[in-house]
Amino acid sequence: MRKLVVIDGNSVAYRAFFALPALSNSSGLHTGAVYGMTTMLLRLIEEEKPTHFLAAFDAGKVTFRHSQYGEYKGGRQKTPPELSEQFPVIRNLIEAMGIRQFELEGYEADDIIGTITKLAEQDDVQAVVVTGDKDMLQLASERVTIALTRKGVSEIERFDPAHIREVYNLAPDQIRDLKGLMGDASDNIPGVPGVGEKTALKLLHEYGTVEQVLAHVDELKGKLRENIANHADDARMSKELATIFREVPMEADWDALRFAGPDKPKLAELFRKLEFRSLIDKLDLGGGAGAEPAESDEQEEALEVVRVTADRLGDLVKRLGEVKAFAAEVTGDNPHTGDVHGLTFLAGQTAYYVPFGLLASDEASALREWLADPEIPKITHDAHRTEVALHWRGLPLRGVAFCTMLAGYLLDPTEAGHTLGLLARKYECGSVPENEDVYGKGAKFKVPDEQTLAAFGARRALAISRLESKLSELLKQNGMESLYHELELPLSGRLAAMETTGVRVDAGALEAYGEELKQSIARLEKDIYELAGTEFNIGSTKQLGEILFDKLKLPVVKKTKTGYSTDAEVLEKLEPYHDIVKHILHYRQLTKLQSTYIEGLLKEVRPETGKIHTYYQQTIAATGRLSSQFPNLQNIPIRLEEGRKIRRVFVPSEPGWVILAADYSQIELRVLAHISGDEGLKEAFRTGLDVHTKTAMDVFGVSEDQVDANMRRQAKAVNFGIVYGISGFGLSRNLDISPKEAEAFIKQYYETFPGVRAYMDNIVATAREQGYVTTLLNRRRYLPEIKASNFNLRSFAERTAMNTPIQGTAADIIKLAMVKIADRLESEGLSSRMLLTVHDELVFEVPPDELETMKRLVPEVMESALELDVPLKVDVSWGDNWYEAK
């Protein structure tokens, strides 16, 4: 006798997901539903001994039921991401189990199951349907049993027609009628209002079917009669929706469905990945023929995890000399406001977890001294963040000798992230969960108990220690040792110091400016409403588009994928058509200032100090630049006067001091001159002429006094374009000229500076050959897409190949200058403080008696940070605030 088991894949997965606790493996993959599914499949194989096995899944989102009833399954909760991520794994599991899976576009699993069971009946095959969905009971027959999951998936109740009769006193076919009357909230099937299971059963026992109930509605009384009479159509439609379609175009290929048991090696590998250790043992999958040896982390298993208490601190203190690595539990995106929960120290085979409370207590002074001692080398992950977070708790961190995050970044700056979990996996140094998996995120954020933190810390510390040896070797192989040890690592401490120092902001002045803006915005708003003839949300691009293009019939210049484009470029083109446009542009400008720079900055001012403390991300930008967050102080307005005024509120934190700003002049073009070796471009910088004017002279073949403003503007655009990895189209858009004309400019430029063209050609060829490009200090960026056949991807990679060495070398230079300046300030005992860095600019606060020294020292160090074939030039300025330092 052939016996088929059919699983309702989606239904059972949901059941398993909600029934089981939120399990996850050490790499953070949720595994609850997979685990539930696994135990259930194993039990089915054991108990049912199927000769044929099929798992049916829903395909696509729209089925024919939606065309019958638009609201079908409407209002259903979105699948939780913790479950969605498990579906692919469930598919792998089923495959490894040796079970055939099936789905068909436009049909639900129900329909596939309805059809296969019908075919089973025809071919004399015994079938068991496993599902959580009671609707399926309608399929029960002599040959078809429905196994409903109970208590999640741990129990199964089998329904044959006799059992259905016992429980409901209905025939299987009448289940459809039951649903038709009572509806089903989970599928958004309406049914008849006021009719639940009890009433529906009573009616069906009396009349048999929905149609008969409707025919005898006159015999009913009161509200029930009224409801049924009014919702007769709903009842008929509901029944139809609940009816499983059994004519899906598919064939009964019993050979294809034959079940020969699990693919053991595959299953073993999957279980190892999922960390279902008990199942590996239970199924004896551990070392069977064909199975790979179990990947057990012996070192991790041998690790002793100690939760340090006050009376056991001595054990750790005695072994501080042996500490190989430490891991800090820091949570929160912003380390200035985040929490430190504890530190784990790895000494030999022991991981000591010290909760923060203990670390901060009198008893733990030896630990704090160890952390603060610059002479004791320390290895950790994300030293920069840790140092900032510890600083605010009065704990200095010095002597960081290796940071695995920074190393991971240098080895491949374009990776999606450099968390310890990602690095450990990538470099095969154990598996470490992400913070998100340990602490949760958003509303679910919760600090777990100390035991969990200790176990987590132990794994982190072990991974850090393993990564250190691997990554330092790789840095050496890549020739990045000095980039790492002499530039990035020292910089990380300098950044932490700048950030914790912070920059004073005159909050009163900021608020006052906000008041002014508020008035202007209100006036603009009124004007705009008047000109539009209606009030609307000007901030909504959708509503604005409707006003401009539907109501006022302005020409559509550009579209976005979601509708009309209304960006500044479009609005500038529309200015001549309607007065409203310039008001909108002005409104945009002022609301940007108000929301991002007035309100945004005010939120970040610490009331205790009146300062803003940004956080520089050292491991984000693919080119080696820094980025600035909470708030971003690298995009404070300067180009337009109204915005530039914001800079007035950035003031010295000590009375009488001044703000001093020093910026590299044309650093990227100078770098280009150096690395391309182009004689003409080098000459341009040696003459000391304005480089854009000089470019205009050379490209247009005119003398200095013949260069007009327009020629200089065009030359400047070409220079920018060159740095960005030029294309005729890009330049044409920027200059608002035709691509043809732009091409001509570029051709002319390349003829004038042939060395630049040679560089561009060479760097792209180099990228193609070696797969990456480098900066002067050997920073590296991989460009795998340089070989893509897709034109877009490849072109992008080519422009990146041209740009990254330039932008990245400029970043190398200013970073080097920062480290050198910080060293000088220290060695010369100056009290001036480095506060900010904005890609090619450094900002300091300076006491009056050091101003002369700093005016000399800062440019001197910046200009000599790295010797190029062209001079580096730095402009210095100072004043009472950042605005005045121009």
Please give the residues from 387 up to 446 whose contact with DNA meets the rule CB under 7 A: 442
- The interface mask with DNA, positions 812-851, x = CB under 7 A, is --------------------------xxxx----------
64 touching DNA, by CB under 7 A: no
By beta-carbon proximity to DNA, the closer residue of 92 and 334 is 334
The correct pick among 43, 216, 518, 542 for binding DNA (CB under 7 A) is 542
Look up residue 549 and give its DSSP letter. Answer: I
32 touching DNA, by CB under 7 A: no
By beta-carbon proximity to DNA, the closer residue of 110 and 678 is 678
Q: Which amino acid is at 254?
A: W
859 touching DNA, by CB under 7 A: no
539 touching DNA, by CB under 7 A: yes
By beta-carbon proximity to DNA, the closer residue of 392 and 720 is 720
Distance of alpha carbon 720 from alpha carbon 467, whole angstroms: 40
Could you tell me which of 782, 837, 770, 775 has the C-alpha nearest to residue 483?
A: 775
Instruction: Tell me, rounded to whole angstroms, the distance of Cα 129 from its chain centroid.
Output: 40
Q: What's the first-to-final CA gap in the chain, in angstroms?
A: 90
Residues 6+ apart with CB under 8 A from 306: 312, 315, 316, 350, 351, 352, 353, 454
628 touching DNA, by CB under 7 A: yes
To DNA, the closest distance from the beta carbon of 810 in angstroms equals 8
Stretch that binds DNA, among 34-42, 243-251, 594-602, 854-862 (CB under 7 A): 594-602
Please give the residues from 565 up to 584 whose contact with DNA meets the rule CB under 7 A: 565-571
- The phi and psi torsions of 402 (rounded to 5 degrees) equal -160, 135
Instruction: Tell me, rounded to whole angstroms, the distance of Cα 701 from its chain centroid.
Output: 50
529 touching DNA, by CB under 7 A: no
* Tally of CB atoms within 10 A around 133: 23
To DNA, the closest distance from the beta carbon of 230 in angstroms equals 33
> What tokens appear for 760 in the block?
């561009």
Number of residues that bind DNA (CB under 7 A): 75
The correct pick among 729, 761, 877, 886 for binding DNA (CB under 7 A) is 729
The correct pick among 638, 689, 737, 788 for binding DNA (CB under 7 A) is 638
The correct pick among 541, 693, 766, 864 for binding DNA (CB under 7 A) is 541
Query: Could you tell me the sign of the dihedral formed by the alpha carbons of 698, 703, 709, 710, in that order?
Result: negative
The correct pick among 34, 491, 528, 726 for binding DNA (CB under 7 A) is 726
* Tally of CB atoms within 10 A around 517: 20
Q: Which residue stretches of 319-440 are H helix?
A: 356-359, 365-372, 383-391, 404-411, 420-426, 435-439
To DNA, the closest distance from the beta carbon of 313 in angstroms equals 39
The correct pick among 39, 92, 500, 727 for binding DNA (CB under 7 A) is 727
Distance of alpha carbon 143 from alpha carbon 118, whole angstroms: 10
- The interface mask with DNA, positions 768-797, x = CB under 7 A, is -----------------------xx--xx-
The correct pick among 278, 537, 703, 827 for binding DNA (CB under 7 A) is 537
Helix (H, G, I), strand (E, B) or coil at 853: helix
Helix (H, G, I), strand (E, B) or coil at 666: coil
198 touching DNA, by CB under 7 A: no
The correct pick among 799, 820, 824, 873 for binding DNA (CB under 7 A) is 799
By beta-carbon proximity to DNA, the closer residue of 39 and 337 is 337
Side-by-side strand order, sheet with 323-331: 304-307, 350-355, 339-347, 323-331
By beta-carbon proximity to DNA, the closer residue of 137 and 717 is 717
Distance of alpha carbon 493 from alpha carbon 498, whole angstroms: 9
> What tokens appear for 34 in the block?
């997979």
Q: Which residue stretches of 255-302 are H helix?
A: 264-274, 277-282, 298-302
Strand-pair partners of 868: none
79 touching DNA, by CB under 7 A: no
Distance of alpha carbon 453 from alpha carbon 657, whole angstroms: 46
Residues present in the chain in total: 886
To DNA, the closest distance from the beta carbon of 721 in angstroms equals 2
To DNA, the closest distance from the beta carbon of 817 in angstroms equals 13
Q: What is the largest CA-CA distance in the chain?
A: 106
To DNA, the closest distance from the beta carbon of 189 in angstroms equals 25
Distance of alpha carbon 582 from alpha carbon 627, whole angstroms: 33
By beta-carbon proximity to DNA, the closer residue of 425 and 645 is 645
To DNA, the closest distance from the beta carbon of 697 in angstroms equals 19
The correct pick among 444, 608, 639, 709 for binding DNA (CB under 7 A) is 639
Distance of alpha carbon 412 from alpha carbon 397, whole angstroms: 26
Please give the residues from 449 up to 478 whose contact with DNA meets the rule CB under 7 A: none
By beta-carbon proximity to DNA, the closer residue of 144 and 389 is 389
Helix (H, G, I), strand (E, B) or coil at 328: strand
Please give the residues from 305 up to 364 whose contact with DNA meets the rule CB under 7 A: none
* Tally of CB atoms within 10 A around 72: 18
588 touching DNA, by CB under 7 A: yes
- The interface mask with DNA, positions 145-184, x = CB under 7 A, is ----------------------------------------
To DNA, the closest distance from the beta carbon of 402 in angstroms equals 24
Q: With DSSP H G I counted as helix, E B as strand and the rest as coil, what are the percentages for the chain, rounded to 5?
A: 55, 15, 30
Residues 6+ apart with CB under 8 A from 393: 340, 356, 360
199 touching DNA, by CB under 7 A: no
- The interface mask with DNA, positions 685-724, x = CB under 7 A, is --------------------------------xx-xx--x
The correct pick among 500, 634, 766, 853 for binding DNA (CB under 7 A) is 634
The correct pick among 560, 710, 738, 762 for binding DNA (CB under 7 A) is 560
Please give the residues from 113 up to 132 whose contact with DNA meets the rule CB under 7 A: none
In Å, how far are 102, 318, 435 from 441, measured between CA atoms? 35, 37, 9
Task: Note whether 624 and 812 are within 8 A (CB).
Answer: yes
503-505 vs 611-612, strand pairing mode: antiparallel
To DNA, the closest distance from the beta carbon of 715 in angstroms equals 11
To DNA, the closest distance from the beta carbon of 834 in angstroms equals 17
* Tally of CB atoms within 10 A around 498: 23
By beta-carbon proximity to DNA, the closer residue of 3 and 712 is 712
Please give the residues from 738 up to 767 whose contact with DNA meets the rule CB under 7 A: 739
